[in-house]
Amino acid sequence: MTSNDSFFVLTGGPGSGKTTLIEALAAAGRRTMMEAGRAVIRDQVRIDGPALPWRDRALFAEAMIVHDLATYRRAETNASGVPVIFDRALPDCAGYLALCGLTVPAHLTRAVADLRYNPRVLLAPFWPEIFGADEERRQDADEAERTAAMMTQTYRAAGYEIVILPKATVAERVAFVQAMIAEA
């Protein structure tokens, strides 16, 4: 098992302010890794590929797994103890598959067990006041809320402690994450 306490995960449902927070943390000088789902969707749309959630959810999940494995290794190689904040991580792939009613493959179960992040995971809760769909995020509010609940369940089952991110301004959220990293 590989454990990296300097790898912090931000998870939750779509439209809960994760990407905005990750961008603000990057602007504040923190090392960040962007979400696999958006990267896969952008690449697949660009090439009219099959690994899109509205075409083949299992293939989309597999593409996210590959992306997240590469992201973990890239962070591991370049981090040398520097905190890294991930916009979603490998357990999110398992949560996505479970949410879709699909089987979580054994290789993903092994990856979630073997490639560990900081034991405290930040969860951005469903926040209806800021939720909105876009070209890449086509989920409705109900699915966004169910996704946040599934990520809570998935990360807890994988042995992580969930820390709820406050529904607050971006600056207040940045300060909250900075304080959590300082405590680690």
Long-range contacts of 50-59 (CB under 8 A, 24+ apart): 53/138, 54/138, 57/96, 57/97, 57/100, 57/102, 58/97, 58/102
The pLDDT value given to residue 95: 96
Is the per-residue pLDDT at 142 higher than 90? no
What is the rounded distance in angstroms from the CA atom of residue 64 to the CA atom of residue 67? 5
Share of the chain above pLDDT 90, in %: 70
Q: What is the pLDDT of residues 102-133, one digit of tens each?
A: 999 999 999 999 999 999 999 998 766 665 65
Q: What is the pLDDT of residues 9-62, one digit of tens each?
A: 999 888 788 888 999 999 999 999 989 988 999 999 999 999 999 999 999 999
CATH architecture type of domain 2-183: 3-Layer(aba) Sandwich (3.40)
Residue spans per domain, the chain: 2-183
- The rounded mean pLDDT for the chain is 89
The pLDDT value given to residue 2: 54
The pLDDT value given to residue 79: 60
Is the per-residue pLDDT at 137 higher than 70? no
Could you tell me if 144 and 120 are in contact, meaning their C-beta atoms sit under 8 angstroms apart? no
The pLDDT value given to residue 81: 77
Mean pLDDT confidence for 67-95: 90
Distance from the Cα of residue 99 to its chain's centroid: 15
With b for 16 or more beta-carbon neighbours within 10 A and e for fewer, the 66-88 pattern comes to ebbbebbeebeeeeeeebbbbbb
